[in-house]
Amino acid sequence: MTSLQLPVEIILDSPLGITQNNIDGHKIFKLNNSILARRDEKILFYLKKAFIPFSFYCISDSQNNNKLDITETQTDGTVNTYSITISEGNPDIYNLLLEIKNLLESNSTFNFKYDITYNSSNNKISIKLLSGDSATKSTLLFNSGTNKSKSINNVLGFLNNSDKDILVNNTISSDNQVDLADGLDSIHIKSNLCGTNIRSIDDESNELLIIPIDKSPYSIIYFDDTKPFKHLLSINVITDIEIILQDSNKNVINMNNIPYTLILECEFIKDIREDIVEVAEEFNYANNLEKFNNLKNKILF
């Protein structure tokens, strides 16, 4: 009986990958030597270790959450609609709200002034329209804004099913709790090399593994699984590996060109189909030989 091949370890250093769509969280790695399973083998493929720096921004253009559209209305019906772009980064809630306040007021044609506060007891924010030239209201365009798909609404705890009016001297509060991570509480590692033995809710089959983010920004996320989930591949040769790092909202993560390393492994297991074929061939041979002998006996005797 032929012994199986030994496992093959694959080290993917991100600088050696080919960046896709100008975001380095999506790479294709060309292997120097192909990995080939023999006819009687199948490949188990899995993530063994990972070293991923928390170099990405939870609020950024690539995360589709750094815009805010607003319309300011005066008493005579005159309006001013504009959008602001929040700086990319990982701010704390107080610095984030201060930046939003400054951007709103510096872009206001009507000298509108705002008070934006954070309530740590319920993890929600409040926005008040203080004053302005003939101020009537401000409308946060979470639902109808041109930048709806890139809105910061979820970070601030607001739903996007409607716009939010703030009447002068009135206050609105966020619908839900503030979520500064906004989908980046885990890293979904996708690959072209995933077997048919895993399915997510939406029937995707390319998820290699999900790594929780349990570190603070600008530290290293280290993954080392002693009992990894192994994917049974339907192919018997590997020449390249595509890796996509995504958040839970399916945004490709921009690693800001800081290197990361994934260590993968291929194990070889016995392909029982070959045994089945061999048994079937032996059975057919024996069965046909018996039929031949019976026919020969009829002719001769």
Residue 34: CB atoms within 10 A of its CB come to 9
Predicted pLDDT at 150: 97
User: If you average pLDDT over residues 253-267, what whole number do you get?
Assistant: 96
Predicted pLDDT at 297: 61
| Cβ burial, residue 263 (10 Å; 0-12/13-18/19+) | middle
112 SS3 class: coil
Q: Which two tokens stand for residue 276?
A: 């089945």
* Residue range(s) occupied by CATH 2.60.120.1100 in the chain: 8-56+184-270
pLDDT tens for each residue of 152-200: 999 999 999 999 999 999 999 999 999 999 989 999 999 998 765 544 4
Q: Which two tokens stand for residue 235?
A: 């192919």
Predicted pLDDT at 98: 98
Predicted pLDDT at 280: 45
Q: Measure the N-to-C terminal CA separation of the chain; round to a whole number of Å.
A: 43
Q: What is the dihedral of CA 251, 257, 261, 264, to 10 degrees?
A: 40
Predicted pLDDT at 284: 56
Cα–Cα distance measured from residue 299 to residue 292, given in angstroms and rounded to the nearest whole number: 11
Percent of the chain predicted with pLDDT > 90: 80
* Closest among 91, 89, 65 to 147, alpha carbons compared: 65
Cβ atoms of 205 and 196 closer than 8 Å: yes
Q: Positive or negative CA dihedral for 195, 201, 203, 204?
A: negative
- Looking at 2.40.40.20, 2.60.120.1100, 2.60.40.2550, 3.20.20.140, the CATH number of the domain 8-56+184-270 comes to 2.60.120.1100
178 SS3 class: coil
pLDDT band at 201 (very low <50, low <70, confident <90, very high): very low
**Per-residue pLDDT at 274 exceeds 90:** no
Contacts of 121 (CB under 8 A, 6+ apart): none
Q: Can you give the length of the chain in residues?
A: 301
Predicted pLDDT at 259: 97
User: If you search the block for the tokens 């600008």, which residue do you land on?
Assistant: 218
pLDDT tens for each residue of 13-69: 999 999 999 999 999 999 999 999 999 999 999 999 999 999 999 999 999 999 999
Angle, CA of 86, 91 and 97, to the nearest 5°? 60
Q: Which amino acid is at 213?
A: I
Contacts of 227 (CB under 8 A, 6+ apart): none
What average pLDDT does the structure give for the chain? 89
Cα–Cα distance measured from residue 184 to residue 221, given in angstroms and rounded to the nearest whole number: 13
